Chain A
Amino acid sequence: MGKIFKFNQDVDTDQIIASQYLLFPTIDEMKAHTFESLDPDFASNVKPGDYVVASENFGCGSSREQAPAVLKALGVKAVVAKSFARIFYRNAINIGLPVIVCKDLHENVNAGEEMELSLQEGIVRVSDKTFTCTKLPEYMQGILDQGGLIASLNKEEA
């Protein structure tokens, strides 16, 4: 189980991690600034295993991979949104951060509630409620299963 951190629609990558932190040498140095403009306490409140739940078009804007990377570095277990912007979606899968589309979740849960996601089943459980997600295409699930694109590259090249 993990706690829900809830965000609205069109959360852009500048909100996830602002430009002025992108050239910091490492993701670890950037992660304290995650969601700084929307929820300045996010980085200190989020715990490994927690979830980000959002509405439409999560991660729109730039191609900065720092956006999914800071979420992963803070231990966010998955992002569940009504829809994702494509570059964020692809980047998240490539680095091994689970992202999944669930049309009904955002309207029916509150920030702070506990939820559990089964990626394999494509099911979210929040107290006694169950929500069905759109499962990832097999190819992308395969990348996630291997721990991301670089892990799979290391395997290919081994």
Chain B
Amino acid sequence: MGMTIAEKIIAAAAGVSEVKPGDIHTVELDRLMSNDGTTHLTIDMYNKLKNPHIADVDKLVWIVDHNVPCDSVKTAASHKKMRDFAKKNGIKFYEGEGVCHQVMMEKHVTSGELIFGADSHTCAYGAVGAFGTGVGCTDYLYAMVTGHSWLLVPETLRFNLTGKLQEGVYARDLILTIIGKIGANGANYMAMEFGGEGLHTLNMSDRISICNLCVEAGAKTALMEVDDIALDYLKEHGREPKHVFKSDDDANYAKVYDIDLSTIKPIVAKPHFVDSVVDAKECVGTHIDEAFLGSCNNGRIEDLRAGAQIIKGKKVNPMVRFLVVPASADVYRQALDEGIIDTFMEAGAIVMNPNCSVCWGSCQGVIGENEVLISTGTRNFKGRAGHKDSFVYLASAATVTASAIKGEIATADMV
């Protein structure tokens, strides 16, 4: 029986020739990423182990991105614990460099790897054909100490992409459309695999955006076929692929979806569920208090360019706070070079340092009671961006920027 990409990566990591969905295997992990959301708890547990040690410190990457720079005395204590432990043990450590997944994509991940990340959006790594999956800190700790873990082989959903996105439609609209179609648990426990000729029309930023959001359909991981675009990306970033796996022709899929990219339209996900998606036009006119352009999902240079192109020469609505947050320091510098930061600042946007920002509702830009945010972030759960009685709409960088100008939800063609 043929295997999917997810099955091939697990088989290689388990050292067996074949695996099938439902099997549980012990797998060697290539990389272990953890951020400041949970690392302080991991360290507390580590210190209580009978025999604390690290199997291979070179596999560990720790990134402070959720609350950076630090927002409170309590956070400072948690950060200090993480920073001190990393230094003492020689763990690769980043602080202020960017959102963890963007930093991982820029500096570490390669094709064919199996990666645990203590963050649900670790599935982003599928953009270069790596099996990334989100875990909690106990799982992380176990893998950090032993170098391996247990993994249940997921079934795979296959998405065959054809055609090309229309002008003004973005990868984010595509993945929100898919999540709306299959539902918030439509891929629960499963891998989502993307391929087909339409994939070649999507750049790396698009691919990261798509894979990153697959967890919002419950997916264990997301995987894209590795083509020249992915290989060029790795090469530009100084990395070689570990393995390049392709699904076999007779691989077994739980379900196959055919998606014509040219049929996708600008989409908005309404509060409080990522799968509550509607045509963006249906939300036009909805009052907003804040707009956010950033996050591991949509804070790359391509997203900033899309926003800058729309806002150049225009002004942010005086009743709106427009937060622009590059996903990494590299993205920030690139945006500076291209004059994009100037464009946003001239328009009246608030440009922040690279971090998770209001996407996770505990750092900067938190919204108050009954306030409304339109966001390129990952989630619109109740209270996700601040007060429990507040509202988050998710949309593309273009729709978010157009809305920031209008002071209400608007699409790019309206400004």
Contact = CB atoms under 8 A, between A and B. Distances in A.
Contact of B74 (A25, A37, A69, A87): A25
Contacts of B136: 63-65, 68, 87, 90-91, 94-95
Interface string A57-77: 100111111101100000000
Given A10-B184, A150-B142, A61 B50 contact: no
Given A23-B37, A65-B138, A149-B138, A18 B361 contact: yes
B162 to A, nearest CB: 30
A47 interface: no
B38 A65 contact: yes
A57 B188 contact: yes
Given A65-B136, A66-B41, A94-B139, A12 B381 contact: yes
A22 interface: yes
Contacts of B189: 86
Given A63-B120, A149-B142, A153-B145, A19 B218 contact: no
B362 interface: yes
A27 B41 CA distance: 8
A146 B145 CA distance: 18
A50 interface: no
B119 A157 contact: no
B321 interface: no
B265 interface: no
Question: In the complex, which range does the number of interface residues on chain B fall in?
Answer: 35 or more
Contacts of A34: none
Contact of A14 (B36, B45, B135, B383): B383
A20 B50 contact: no
B138 A15 contact: no
Contacts of B215: 87
Contacts of B218: 57, 60, 85-86
Interface in B37-54: 37-38, 40-41, 44-45, 49-51
Question: In the complex, which range does the number of interface residues on chain A fall in?
Answer: 35 or more
Interface string B161-203: 0000000000000000000000011001100000000000000
Contact of B51 (A10, A95, A148, A157): A157
Interface string A113-141: 00000000000000000000000010100
Contacts of A91: 135-136, 138-139
Nearest to B50: A154
Interface of A: 10, 12, 14-15, 18-20, 22-27, 36-37, 56-57, 60-66, 68-69, 83, 85-87, 90-91, 94-95, 137, 139, 148-150, 153-154, 156-158
Which 7 pairs, one residue from A and one from B, show the smallest C-beta to C-beta distance?
A: A65-B136, A91-B136, A37-B388, A19-B362, A63-B134, A94-B138, A57-B185
